[in-house]
């Protein structure tokens, strides 16, 4: 099946952004889908300033836990990388469960249910594939078998499978992984989904930075009408008064010039000739650095800042370059971010070229 909506629409697809950060995932989504972001949700005020600078017409909806989705303009694409702290392998692996920061996925699922976008794009860390997920029991339901303590056998085998073949498949409880919970929720919401794990080095970046990307497409046409029982004359969620499923966005407002978007990858797998100057500066990292310089079309900045009290630390401009972002995307002094805020924003962000490559690959699978 080919998705004609990506190329045949008169107006760009509209993107709603959650857990937006500096907008790395939005850059990829806009590039792949030919879309534009019309609103975002970010509670970190300094980082939100970066996003607002690049998308000045997009309002910040604020805390996702307080948004009334019935009052939000519908979108064609909903994207977001919900917090990774509790599923990251470098954290405590508390898992995807109520009360954790990663448990905010439930609020993104609620947004999907209410808005019924045509596409959903999700990004998260490798730990999404291994961290556990625990479901909250409905109010008044004390059936502990939904999350039994023996769901993950302890001491069985290194990979936690059942201890002998005679019992294989007979256990009523099996561990639910965070990625499985997210994919299962998308299925419950009426979406076909494809996930892909991709390191940044696969697109030529000089660092691994493995990330999981999920692309979901609404499987049920006119989903709001199917999911809601509407009374005679009542509009289904997401419908406009003209009974068109998606209202056309207002394009009459003057817009400031947009920041130049990313160009297609080139030279990802090309052999790199490294001169002596690059070898002296970067040592064994020279081939990776030179390759990324050619892909991004700009030289690498100085990698470190030197402080008398703290010693060397990563230079935000260098980290920005590592992420493949345009010059000053997060480090422009006009944003008013401190060095620590810049590094935190960049460290939590998405490499747009990596995300675009993953989305294109997932689109090919979903379209086949």
Does 297 lie in the same domain as 357? no
Domain assignment of residue 258, yes or no? no
Question: What per-residue confidence (pLDDT) applies to 94?
Answer: 60
Domain assignment of residue 264, yes or no? no
Question: What per-residue confidence (pLDDT) applies to 229?
Answer: 39
Does 299 lie in the same domain as 165? no
Domain assignment of residue 212, yes or no? yes
Question: What per-residue confidence (pLDDT) applies to 234?
Answer: 38
Split into its structural domains, the chain has a count of 2
Does 288 lie in the same domain as 206? no
Domain assignment of residue 17, yes or no? yes
Cβ neighbours for 79, distance < 8 A, ≥ 6 positions apart: 15, 16, 17, 18, 25, 26, 29, 120, 121, 122, 123
Kindly give the parts of the chain with pLDDT less than 50: 1-2, 4-5, 138, 141, 144-172, 224-267
Question: What per-residue confidence (pLDDT) applies to 219?
Answer: 87
Does 128 lie in the same domain as 25? yes
Does 344 lie in the same domain as 329? yes
Report pLDDT digits (tens) over 227-284.
433 333 433 333 444 434 344 444 444 444 444 344 444 445 566 788 899 999 999 9
Does 109 lie in the same domain as 64? yes
Does 245 lie in the same domain as 104? yes
Domain assignment of residue 261, yes or no? no
Does 357 lie in the same domain as 346? no
Does 325 lie in the same domain as 213? no
Question: What per-residue confidence (pLDDT) applies to 164?
Answer: 45
- CATH value at residue 206: 3.40.50.150
Domain assignment of residue 185, yes or no? yes
CA-wise closest residue to 130 among 70, 166, 88, 100: 88
Domain assignment of residue 268, yes or no? no
Question: What per-residue confidence (pLDDT) applies to 3?
Answer: 52
Question: What per-residue confidence (pLDDT) applies to 80?
Answer: 95
CA distances from 185 to 32, 105, 114, 191, 300 (A): 24, 10, 14, 9, 42
Report pLDDT digits (tens) over 281-317.
999 999 999 999 999 999 999 999 887 677 788 999 9
Domain assignment of residue 259, yes or no? no
Question: What per-residue confidence (pLDDT) applies to 263?
Answer: 43
Six-digit token string for 304? 């470190």
Question: What per-residue confidence (pLDDT) applies to 91?
Answer: 57
Does 149 lie in the same domain as 15? yes
Domain that holds residue 30: 5-251+353-367
Question: What per-residue confidence (pLDDT) applies to 153?
Answer: 36
Question: What per-residue confidence (pLDDT) applies to 227?
Answer: 42
Does 304 lie in the same domain as 182? no
Does 330 lie in the same domain as 361? no
Instruction: State CA 361 to chain mean position distance.
Output: 15
């Amino acid at each position: 099946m080919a998705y004609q909506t990506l190329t045949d629409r008169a107006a760009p697809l509209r993107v709603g952004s959650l857990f937006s950060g500096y907008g790395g995932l939005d850059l990829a989504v806009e590039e792949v889908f030919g879309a534009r972001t019309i609103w975002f949700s970010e509670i970190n005020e300094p980082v939100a300033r970066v996003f607002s600078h690049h998308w000045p017409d997009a309002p910040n909806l604020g805390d996702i836990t307080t948004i009334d989705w019935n009052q939000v303009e519908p979108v064609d694409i909903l994207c977001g990388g919900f917090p990774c702290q509790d599923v990251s392998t470098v954290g405590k692996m508390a898992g995807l469960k109520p009360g954790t920061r990663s448990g905010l996925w439930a609020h993104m699922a609620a947004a999907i249910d209410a808005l019924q976008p045509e596409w959903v794009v999700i990004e998260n860390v490798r730990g999404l594939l291994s961290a556990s997920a625990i479901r909250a029991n409905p109010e008044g339901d004390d059936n502990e078998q939904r999350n039994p303590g023996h769901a993950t056998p302890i001491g069985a085998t290194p990979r936690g499978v059942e201890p002998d073949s005679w019992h294989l498949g007979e256990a009523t409880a099996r561990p639910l992984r965070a990625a499985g919970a997210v994919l299962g929720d998308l299925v419950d919401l009426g979406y076909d989904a494809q996930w892909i794990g991709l390191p940044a080095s696969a697109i030529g970046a000089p660092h691994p930075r493995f990330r999981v990307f999920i692309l979901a497409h609404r499987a049920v046409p006119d989903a709001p009408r199917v999911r809601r029982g509407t009374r005679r004359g009542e509009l289904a969620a997401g419908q406009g008064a003209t009974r068109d499923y998606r209202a056309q966005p207002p394009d009459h407002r003057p817009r400031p010039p947009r920041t130049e978007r990313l160009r297609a990858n080139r030279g990802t797998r090309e052999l790199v000739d490294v001169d002596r100057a690059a070898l002296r500066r970067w040592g064994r990292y020279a081939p990776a650095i030179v390759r990324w310089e050619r892909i991004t079309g700009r030289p690498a900045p100085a990698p470190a800042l030197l402080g008398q009290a703290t010693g060397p630390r990563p230079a935000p401009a260098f980290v920005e370059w590592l992420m493949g972002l345009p010059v000053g995307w997060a480090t422009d002094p006009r944003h008013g971010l401190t060095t620590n805020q810049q590094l935190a924003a960049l460290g939590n962000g998405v490499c747009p070229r990596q995300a675009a490559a993953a989305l294109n690959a997932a689109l090919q699978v979903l379209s086949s």
